[in-house]
Amino acid sequence: MKSPQPSKGIVDRALDLINPKPEQETACAAATEARLQLLRDCIELHRNLPSPGDLKKELSGIRRDLTKAKKAISSYSPAARAMIFKKDAVAEQQFFDSLDRLAADTQFFRASLVVRPGGHRWDNRKVMAARYGADLLRSYSTEPFTKTGKACRELAELLWEGASGKVEDLAQYCREPDRIDPPLVVKVPWAKR
């Protein structure tokens, strides 16, 4: 992956696309730099987060390991377990109850995660680039703003390139700059009555 471009070059190119009034040029440059930094921070924040699908797999693995741990410890002789738990049957039972509770909680959280089909295709970070581009054009451009306009797409792509180091087509995100999809949905079951 290419590293993000220096802000100065990106801001200068953005000013050419935005074409602000001369008296607004300094404010526009500052706003562009601020949005570029916000986008970089967002990309960095999400760089190491697991995807919702990976998170479900990890939760399954944790539950499996907790169940295996309980089974493995239970398989030792009562004498060995008595040494570990210092002959405290209550502590031993609390330990096994804890493992059961953690396994049940893990299963509940795994079942609560809903990975929507096609949800991975909509990247909210790219939506932010489109939204920031649209905001800059609405606020500072001397020309009328349109979501499908070339300036909006080019500015969003420029901001994305400056923040991520990647050149990508953001036309679909520019058509819907206000659409934010949650990357995962957590369903909470109704309380039983």
Question: Cα separations (Å) of 110 from 33, 43, 52?
Answer: 40, 26, 10
Separation CA 119–CA 115 (nearest Å): 7
Domains of the chain: which residue ranges? Answer: 7-49+123-186, 52-114
Distance CA(38)–CA(23), nearest Å, equals 25
Of the listed ranges 59-73, 95-109, 112-126, the one predicted with least confidence? 112-126
Mean pLDDT computed over 28-51: 87
Task: Band the pLDDT of 180: cuts 50, 70, 90.
Answer: low
The predicted structure's pLDDT at residue 116: 65
Per-residue model confidence (pLDDT) at position 48: 75
pLDDT at 22: 92
What's the mean pLDDT in 129-152? 86
CA 66 – CA 74 distance, rounded (Å): 12
What SS3 state is found at 111? Answer: helix
Q: Give pLDDT tens digits for 80-110.
A: 998 988 889 899 999 999 999 999 889 888 8
Give pLDDT tens digits for 22-38: 999 999 999 999 999 99
